[in-house]
Amino acid sequence: MVELTVTPRRSLADRPVRVHVRGLAPSQLVTLLASLTDERGVHFSARAFYRADERGEVDAERHAALGGDFAGLWPMGLFWFLRPDTLFQRLLKRDVAGSPFRVRLEVFDAVRLAAAPGEQPLAACAAERWYVGPGVQRAPVREGRVRGALFLPP
């Protein structure tokens, strides 16, 4: 049984996470796919191709991506290389304190440039990426022409 994990599942957006797949066949080619939808409904995704090691594992911290949206050793590549499905869009997060980005991670057998309709992944999980830590308070700033927000730690 294939297992895909993200550790920790809930973290601040600037903190690294570990993406790890277990239960694959030795030397099996797989596609890891990360996707999210922002607050405007724009869909973003990133994919990378990996070859499992002799234990049937893929660890983004130790194994280099063979291709996809990036190649080489990029432990956070699935998060850093997210790009919009439609041109000229950018990732937008207005409600930084109230909700996280929910990134869905999936692993598919073989190299997949696009998922076939109805195709089921070998495994999937989700990661929450928060922009504000627990207990942080947001105070609006309005002084003359200056507008902004001050984030106060607990």
- What is the pTM assigned to this prediction? 0.88
Q: Could you count the other beta carbons within 10 Å of the beta carbon of residue 20?
A: 17
Distance CA 121, CA 109 (A): 8
Instruction: Render pLDDT for 70-126 as a digit per residue (tens, 0 to 9).
Output: 999 999 999 999 999 999 999 988 888 889 999 999 999 999 888 777 889 999 999
Instruction: Render pLDDT for 131-147 as a digit per residue (tens, 0 to 9).
Output: 999 899 989 999 999 99
State the pLDDT at residue 92: 87
Angstrom CA distances, 63 to 2, 3, 29, 51, 87, stand at 17, 17, 12, 8, 30
Assigned token pair, 34: 């990360």
Q: Is residue 67 very low, low, confident or very high in pLDDT (cuts 50, 70, 90)?
A: very high
Domains of the chain plus CATH, in order, are 3-152 (2.60.40.2240)
